[in-house]
Amino acid sequence: MSRTVLLVDDDDAVRDALTQVLEGAGLSVRAFASAEAFLAGCRRGQRGCLLLDVRLPGLSGPDLQAALQARGLEMPVIFLTGHGDVATSVRTLKAGAFDFLEKPTPAAVLLDRVRRALEQERTRHAVKTAAVAADARLGRLTAREREILPEVAAGRSSKEIARRLGISHRTVEVHRAHIMQKMGARNAVELARLAGTGELGALPARGLRTHRKQRSSDARNT
Distance between CA atoms of residues 73 and 50, nearest Å? 11
Distance between CA atoms of residues 55 and 11, nearest Å? 10
Asked whether residue 215 carries a pLDDT value surpassing 50, the answer given is no
Cβ-contact 120, 2 below 8 angstroms: no
- Do the domains spanning 4-130 and 139-221 agree at the CATH topology level? no
Q: Where are the domains of the chain?
A: 4-130, 139-221
pLDDT digits (tens, 9 = 90+) for 11-36: 999 999 999 999 999 999 999 999 99
pLDDT at residue 85, as a whole number: 74
Domain 139-221 in CATH 3.40.920.10? The answer is no
pTM: 0.69
Q: What is the mean pLDDT of residues 34-48?
A: 89
Distance between CA atoms of residues 55 and 52, nearest Å? 9
Gyration radius of the chain over CA positions? 25
Asked whether residue 208 carries a pLDDT value surpassing 90, the answer given is no
pLDDT at residue 129, as a whole number: 85
Is beta strand 28-32 parallel, antiparallel or unpaired with respect to 4-8?
Answer: parallel
CATH topology for 4-130?
Rossmann fold (3.40.50)
